[in-house]
Each structure stands twice: as structure tokens, then as C-alpha cells.
Chain A
Amino acid sequence: MQQAVAAPLPAAGKRSGNFGDKVFAGVAHASGYFVLALLGGIIVVLFMGGYKAFHQFGAFFLVSTEWEPVQEIFGAAVPIFGTVVTAILALLMAVPLAFGIAFYLTELAPMWFRRPVSTAIELLAAVPSIIYGMWGFFVVVPIMAEYIQPAVIDTIGELPLIGPLFQGPPFGTGILTAAFILAIMIIPFIAATMRDVFETVPAVYKESAYGVGCTTWEVMRSVVIPYTRASVVGGIMLGLGRALGETMAVTFVIGNTNRIATTLFGPGNTIASIVALEFPEAEAGSLKLSSLLALGFVLFVISFIVLAISRALLRPGAKS
């Protein structure tokens, strides 16, 4: 009591500070736990929503190719196939381009040119998904239908073994077009990650390689890539994670047919596209809605695994 009288101000100040600290720290901690709850909530809510479908069809849901709303038979195999195939094809197209861009931006481009080009590539990531869909539908699809697909059918389509993959009517839409649009959409993510990790390579390493007479490409291949390998793969996985869940762009160009495409020009669907398209026709509480939510749950699980791997690979390198 005496002490409080002797020094009232610091004590009062301390008490209010303590109180403020407790409240602020409490709110901060609560927010942290809220994010954990959010992810948990998404998993639980999607699973609960899809429970009816999982219960009805069991494991059959994952392997059945049937999607018959009239007979109430729903299988996820076609959209899962479409999701995985378009995402992987997109990676095959995007990775070389993204690598070239990252290589150019870190080693080749003149200094003054790097920032504007970097920004322009990153702006590709800022363009909304729906714009890619419109651009794909009104610009890319006609070009594919008129020039690229007929030309490819007449050349690569004639080859043995891989030929059958490049056949079929040239509608312009389909798996390959969707993968192409996806590739453009994920290029900026992969390129930006690669650029950032390439820049973490200590200059001394590169200089010593140049010092013994390496060319720029040899420095890249023998010093930069081995040094950043894990993070580069992490960046590619990040792109894959993004490609798996893209909705609007894919919906516009994939052709939206529930059939496993036997050619790259054939139509198909993805989990995201079938959910976006069929959702308006699904009544609340119906088996169809439950099946769509179950599809959402499957997509979440796939994305989660891919993104978790990506992050595990990116973190240690990125923070060093």
C-alpha cells in the first residue's frame, strides 16, 4: 500500500499495461486459433456435406465414371481424372516457360529491365480467373480449332503410339485447351518462386564457377539448380496446387462432358468445373448436392497434400 502511494504513476501504468498486454495477446492468440479452426471447419463441413454420398456409394464413389442425376448415381472418377490430367499437362507446359523466365530475370536481363518484366509477369497472376476463361473461350478456342488442332491432327496425330492422343474432331475446346489456359495462369507463381530462390544463391558460388570458365548456362545447371533444387520443386508443386482448383477458366474451355477423354482434344471436366456447373441444379439436401460436396472434399484433400509438400520444400530454403 505504501509503495503504491509512493509511486502511484508507474504502478498504475504497469497495471494498465499488463491489462492491455493481456487483452492484446489474448486477441492475437485467439486469432491464431481461429485460423486453425477455419481450416478444420472447412474439412469438417465439406466432409459432413459429402457424407450422404460417401455413405451411399462408399469407395465406389471414387472409381465410378457414372454421373447420372436422373437415376441418382454419382461417381467421381471422371472429374478426378480431368483435374489431375489437366493440372499435370499444365505443369508440363508451364515449367519450362517459367524456368526460362526465371533464368532470364535472374541472370540474363539487363538490370533496368528486370523490374518491369518481373512486374508484368506477376500481373499475369493478378488477372482474375474469369478473364482467363473469357479470353480462352473467345480467343484461344477459335485459334485452336482453326489452326493448331487440325495441324497437329495431320502431323503428330499420324504417328504411331502417341498419335491417337492427338486425334478427334477439332472443336477447339477440351482437355488440352484447358491445360494450356491453366499453364498461363500458373506460370507467374512458378516463375516468381524460381526467381526468388535463384536469387538466394550466394554470389561467391556463381563467381567461382564463372572463374573456372563456366558459361551462364553451365553456372545455372551446375551451381544454381543443385543449390535450389528443393525450393524449385516446391515452386512447381505450388503451381500444381493452384492448377488443381482453378474453376472459372477451366469451366469456359474444357467442354464439360462427363466422359474420360481418350484424346487430348476431347472434352472432359474437372472437380471444380462440375461443381460450378451442376451446383445450381442441385437442391438442398439432395444426394446430388451431397455428391458435389463430396467432390469438393476430394479436391480439398488432393490440394492439401500437394500444397503441404510444396510448403515443406519451400520453407527451409526460402528462410535461409
Chain B
Amino acid sequence: MSATLATQSLPGPAKNIEVARSLGSQRHRTNQIVKVLCVAATAIGLIFLASILSTLLIRGVGGISLTVFTTSTLPPGSQGGLLNAIIGSLIQTFIGAAIGTPIGLMVGTYLAEYAQQSKVGNAVRFVSDILLSAPSILIGLFVYQLVVTPFGGFSGIAGCIALAVIVIPIVVRTTEDMLRLIPATLREAVIGLGAPKWKMIVLICYRAAKEGIATGILLAVARVAGETAPLLFTSLGNLNWSTDLTKPLASLPVTIYQYAGSPFADWVQLAWVGALLITFGVLAINIGARLMLRRGK
């Protein structure tokens, strides 16, 4: 060991060629091993994704038929579909995003344009980041206590509100990030022309950042479309056809949850079809959002 150190500390060509060579090859070997492990880690990650997607395809594709899209959920053995769940999911996702997006957009604007360094701004940024990663089941409990209990029961609108709460921090994050990318010279040019600040923000900054902001909204839609836990306590799920927002409303994730754990083969099959639909829908929105952002840049 002392020989090794002595060799290392001397400048110039190694005095002890043998030790130097073994050191070098040892370092080289460590490097190779780490590289192989990293490639393996990446491969494992990709294998998980491939396994999930192929499982969905293998188990789900066989069950896809027209009745899935034309019939509501029915008792086991009577050839039901998922129509009410699909419609319920679309309604709740759409209204949730429609409520959450403007609020998130304004909060993002506030952070980027009015409160870059202020204490309140930092607090809002912090809270928004916490909400972004907070367990979604707690959002469900929160809306249950706030909306479901006082207003007499589970309802579609409660589900929409729960999803809106999840949408807000996602839109805040992308909106703020995108508005901050806009060069100061552009703002100065607009202000220099005599435009008021709000016109600068609405007509120039939003327009310049529109791909980024739209990406955020799409990512938020993709996220809430697959949410199950918050809906369990708010819109509950409904096995009958209903689009009444004041009554319990079906949704694809909750129906999947109910069906996947059931002992009936046809329900489990429908759960796989639903899982296939929701996953590929969500992934398609995700990829679309990324493509849009790339084109915007």
C-alpha cells in the first residue's frame, strides 16, 4: 500500500510500472462495471414500462368491442360496457381542468409578473410546490369534508372540484416557468410603446408562451384523467347511466378499481379494457404535450 502511495505521489512517469499498470486497469475495470450497471438500470426502467404497456395490450385488446363504447356498466354476465364511465371521466376531467386552469394561470402570472422576489410570492411558490406533490387522496378527503358533507352527498361536481385542486399547481408551475423565459427586452418594448402592464401580459407574454402554457394544461389533464383516489370520496362512482353533476358520477378509474377487484371474469376483462383506454389516452396526451413544447421552442 505504501509503495502504491509513493508511486502515485511522484510526478512524471511511474517508477513502478507494475503497480501503475494494476492501478490503471483497476480504475478502468471499476469504470466499466459502473457503466454496465447504469445501462442495466436504464434497461430495467424501460422493461418495466414495456411490461406495463404489453400487459395492458395483451389483456385489454381482446375485450375491445363496440358494446364497450355504446353500453353502460351492467351487472356481471350481461354484456355491459363502459360508456357511462368514459363520459363521466370526460365530464369531470374537462370541468376540473376548466375550473383549475384559469386559477392556475393567474397564480403563475402572479408569481412571474408581480411577485418574483416578494415574501408572499415565495410563500405562494412554496405552497404550490407542496400541493403539486401532496398525496391526491388527501385532496379527496378535503373536498369530501368541504363539499360532500355539507351539501348532502357524493356528487359529480365534488369530483370536478377535487380534480381542479390537482390541476392548479401543475398549471402554476409551467405558467410561471414559461413566463420567466420571455426576454426582458420584449416586455420593455411593449411597455415602451405605452401599453399597460395587463395588456403586455395578456396580449404579448401569454402569446409568446402559449405552447408552454398549453403543455402545462395538457399535462394537468393527463394527470387528473387517471386519478382515482380523490374521486372515491367525491364523485364516488355510479353504475347507472347519469350525467347529473349533483348525483354520484361514474369515472373510468373508479370503475376500473371496482371491476378489477371483483370476482367476475367479464368485469375484470372490462377493467383491463378501461385500463388500456385510460393509459394510452393519458400517454398520448403526454407525448402530444411534449411534441408541442418542442415545436414551440
Chain A interfacial positions (CB closer than 8 Å to B): 10, 13, 16-18, 20-21, 23-25, 27-36, 38-39, 41-42, 45-46, 48-49, 96-101, 103-105, 108-109, 117, 119-121, 123-124, 126-135, 137-139, 184, 187-188, 191, 215-218, 220, 238, 241-242, 244-248, 252, 272, 275-276, 279-280, 284, 292-293, 296, 299-300, 303-304, 307-308, 310-311
Q: By the criterion CB–CB under 8 Å, are A117 and B106 in contact?
A: no
Q: By the criterion CB–CB under 8 Å, are A46 and B138 in contact?
A: yes
Q: By the criterion CB–CB under 8 Å, are A46 and B145 in contact?
A: yes
Q: By the criterion CB–CB under 8 Å, are B196 and A99 in contact?
A: no
Q: By the criterion CB–CB under 8 Å, are B49 and A123 in contact?
A: yes
Q: A21-B198, A39-B127, A46-B141 are in contact. Are A246 and B135 (CB under 8 A)?
A: yes
Q: By the criterion CB–CB under 8 Å, are B142 and A41 in contact?
A: yes
Q: Measured between alpha carbons, how far is A126 from B287 in the docked complex, in Å?
A: 10
Q: By the criterion CB–CB under 8 Å, are A308 and B51 in contact?
A: no
Interface size on B, residues (CB 8 A): 89
The interface bits of chain B over 152-180 (1 if a CB of A lies within 8 angstroms of the residue's CB, else 0) are 00000000000001001100100000000
User: Considering the complex of A and B, which 6 residue pairs feature the smallest CB-CB distances, nearest first?
Assistant: A245-B135, A128-B226, A100-B41, A17-B196, A24-B198, A31-B106
Q: Measured between alpha carbons, how far is A128 from B282 in the docked complex, in Å?
A: 8
Q: By the criterion CB–CB under 8 Å, are A272 and B135 in contact?
A: yes
Q: By the criterion CB–CB under 8 Å, are B45 and A191 in contact?
A: yes
Whether a CB of chain A sits under 8 angstroms from the CB of B64 is no
Q: By the criterion CB–CB under 8 Å, are B197 and A34 in contact?
A: no
Closest Cβ of chain B to A62, distance in Å, is: 18
Among B9-17, B67-75, B107-115, the stretch that binds chain A is B107-115
Point out the residue from B130, B194, B225, B226 that lies within 8 Å of A307, measured CB to CB.
B130
19 extra A-B contacts, CB within 8 A, seeds A248-B253, A276-B232:
A17-B196, A31-B107, A35-B127, A39-B131, A46-B142, A104-B39, A126-B286, A129-B229, A131-B279, A134-B260, A139-B55, A218-B27, A220-B34, A242-B133, A252-B260, A252-B261, A275-B137, A299-B137, A303-B134
Q: By the criterion CB–CB under 8 Å, are A100 and B49 in contact?
A: no
Q: Measured between alpha carbons, how far is A126 from B28 in the docked complex, in Å?
A: 38
Q: Measured between alpha carbons, how far is A252 from B262 in the docked complex, in Å?
A: 12
Q: By the criterion CB–CB under 8 Å, are A248 and B138 in contact?
A: no
Q: A34-B107, A46-B141, A101-B41 are in contact. Are A13 and B31 (CB under 8 A)?
A: no
Q: By the criterion CB–CB under 8 Å, are B106 and A124 in contact?
A: no
Q: Measured between alpha carbons, how far is A104 from B45 in the docked complex, in Å?
A: 12
Q: By the criterion CB–CB under 8 Å, are A96 and B41 in contact?
A: yes
Q: By the criterion CB–CB under 8 Å, are A245 and B51 in contact?
A: no
Closest Cβ of chain A to B258, distance in Å, is: 11
Whether a CB of chain A sits under 8 angstroms from the CB of B42 is yes
Chain B residues in 8 Å Cβ range of A123: 49, 283, 286-287
Chain B residues in 8 Å Cβ range of A187: 45, 48
Chain A residues in 8 Å Cβ range of B169: 35
Whether a CB of chain A sits under 8 angstroms from the CB of B129 is yes
Q: Measured between alpha carbons, how far is A42 from B146 in the docked complex, in Å?
A: 9
A17 — nearest CB in chain B belongs to which residue?
B196
B120 — nearest CB in chain A belongs to which residue?
A32
Closest Cβ of chain B to A320, distance in Å, is: 15
Q: A27-B106, A32-B110 are in contact. Are A134 and B256 (CB under 8 A)?
A: yes
8 contacts between A and B (CB under 8 A): A36-B120, A49-B145, A117-B42, A128-B279, A130-B260, A292-B141, A293-B141, A303-B134
Q: Measured between alpha carbons, how far is A30 from B94 in the docked complex, in Å?
A: 24
Q: Measured between alpha carbons, how far is A279 from B119 in the docked complex, in Å?
A: 39
A184 — nearest CB in chain B belongs to which residue?
B48
Chain B residues in 8 Å Cβ range of A131: 52, 56, 226, 275, 278-279
Chain A residues in 8 Å Cβ range of B227: 128-129
Q: Measured between alpha carbons, how far is A124 from B233 in the docked complex, in Å?
A: 26
Chain B residues in 8 Å Cβ range of A100: 37-42
Chain A residues in 8 Å Cβ range of B195: 17
Q: By the criterion CB–CB under 8 Å, are B114 and A29 in contact?
A: yes
Q: Measured between alpha carbons, how far is A296 from B145 in the docked complex, in Å?
A: 12
The interface bits of chain B over 3-31 (1 if a CB of A lies within 8 angstroms of the residue's CB, else 0) are 00000000000000000000000011011
Chain B residues in 8 Å Cβ range of A49: 141, 145
Whether a CB of chain A sits under 8 angstroms from the CB of B124 is yes
